[in-house]
Structure 1
Amino acid sequence: MPGPAGVSCEPPPPPPTSFPTFTAAPDPSVAAGESWTADIRSTCGELTLRLDPRRAPRSLASFVALARAGYWTDSVCHRLTTPPAPTAFLQCGDPSGRSTAEPGYDLPLENVPADRTYRVGDVGIARGDGFPGTAGEFFLVHRDFTVPAGAPVYSLVGRVTAGQQVVANIAGIGGEDFRSDGPPFTSISVLTVSVHPG
């Protein structure tokens, strides 16, 4: 289905019936190096991320380990936040399709912007109630937003370097039933995530 940004989406596959789980967070050495690249293939197009392990070593190690384990294969982007919600991102990485999946560990906060502002193209780690980082889900920012004092902040792991139009397309169409914090009107799933140094 073509959107306002000229992006076409294919029907998403059914969510997987099972997904990998872990007993502990991976060691930061899993993602050692100066930078990493993640290639995301989705039902609405491809995105490329540049990831920085120096600023968020624990979060990056988790991202790399989950990608290599196929945790996000056929997973749903289940949440889109738009005005009047205080945030502005597309949240992905839920293999259950119901925002109930977890890989088995949580993450500390890392690389939180000093001004609490998240900008278009930022890639962050989602948070659950009472947890610094949910580890399994990530988000892609589609509009600059600043987290007010007292509200949850998020770890940043990198930037979208190609394919931001995919996120803009989903955000431009809006949320299901005009909700400002719920499923996107246009269904989108992550098909595969591959990672490599450099």
Structure 2
Amino acid sequence: MRPLRSLAAVAAVTAAVALAPTTSATAGTDHHGRPPAVPTQPTKGPCAYTPMEDTTYSTFVGLPKDPRHTPDRGSLGVTLKTNHGDIPLVLDRAAAPCTVQSFAFLTRAKYFDDTICHRLTSYTTPPAALSVLQCGDPLGTGYGDPGYSFKDELDSAKALQNWPGFPDGSRKVYPRGTLAMANAGPDTNGSQFFLVYRDSRLRPDYTVFGHVTEKGMKVLDAIAAGGIDPGTDGTPEDGMPALRTEIERARLSGHHGR
């Protein structure tokens, strides 16, 4: 089994972005300063945000609203204000409406504030190819989750170009600038996401829900150029960013469509 909520890469054969568990969890609070009650049933709308059975590694701030009609038109802007500069994102509602709805909810809840991007990869030796920055875990370990999961939205991933040598589409080009969800297997999306800074080879198993703007790519490139700190558990191709990368604030920055 792949570790839950960690980004793993198999250099010799393929590369995979997964999610992995960490040490202890912190919970958000309601307007009275109390931890929100953790529901036991999925939301009743089409996205069916599902509470985690094991909340050991959860930072719970509630469940997203799940209306009968999930907004599926236009785009939504989110700016990640990092210690290295702003990384503006454009979220594509048509590509992944449930994912965008969840990401916007977590942004409004300040879930991503004061968190680190805990993993940077640079697998470039054929046949592996994985160059991403992974963020979205308040625990900073690769194990954290928001206390709920939701289904994959893979149509946009399947529509990506096939990686050369894979005419069957079993490996896709996740192009530079892609914004996608990390996961621990089918329908295990939570809060962790990755930003692609160099075309990467992956199975079409990761929900694509937007892109990084040109301004944001300059910041992402600078972080990647700083290299990787493998620590004691990583490798020279997979570890913490050598330039510690903090999301100081994440804020909605405009939207278009319905």
TM-score scaled by structure 1? 0.80
Q: Would you say the 8 A contact 1:33–1:197 is kept in 2?
A: no
Please report how far the alpha carbon of residue 133 of structure 1 lies from its aligned counterpart in structure 2 after TM superposition.
Answer: 4.0
Aligned twin of 1:59: 99
CA distance in 2, matches of 1:106, 1:83: 28
Deviations 1:49-107 (A, max 9, x none): 11111110111011000000011011110001102453211001111122222111222
After TM superposition, where is structure 1 displaced by more than 6 Å over at least 4 residues in a row? none
Aligned twin of 2:151: 108
Please report how far the alpha carbon of residue 21 of structure 1 lies from its aligned counterpart in structure 2 after TM superposition.
Answer: 1.3
Please report how far the alpha carbon of residue 146 of structure 1 lies from its aligned counterpart in structure 2 after TM superposition.
Answer: 2.2
Distance 1:39 1:30, change over 3 A: farther
CA distance in 2, matches of 1:30, 1:71: 21
* Greater relative CO (CA pairs within 8 A, separation 6+): 1
Amino acid at match of 2:190: A
Amino acid at match of 1:165: K
Q: Would you say the 8 A contact 2:80–2:88 is kept in 1?
A: yes
TM-score scaled by structure 2? 0.63
The alignment of Structure 1 onto Structure 2 pairs a total of residues equal to 179
Distance 1:36 1:89, change over 3 A: same
**Other structure's SS at 1:98 match:** coil
Q: 1:119 aligns with which of 151, 168, 175?
A: 175
CA distance in 1, matches of 2:197, 2:80: 16
Aligned twin of 2:134: 91
**Other structure's SS at 1:66 match:** helix
Structure 1 gaps, min length 5: 1-15
Q: 1:157 aligns with which of 209, 233, 241?
A: 209
Structure 2 gaps, min length 5: 1-24, 29-58, 162-171
Distance 1:51 1:98, change over 3 A: same
Q: Please state if 1:146 is matched with 2:191.
A: no
Amino acid at match of 1:197: H
Q: Please state if 1:41 is matched with 2:81.
A: yes
Higher-Rg structure is 2
Aligned twin of 2:227: 174
CA distance in 1, matches of 2:87, 2:190: 20
Identity of aligned residues (%): 32
Please report how far the alpha carbon of residue 23 of structure 1 lies from its aligned counterpart in structure 2 after TM superposition.
Answer: 5.9
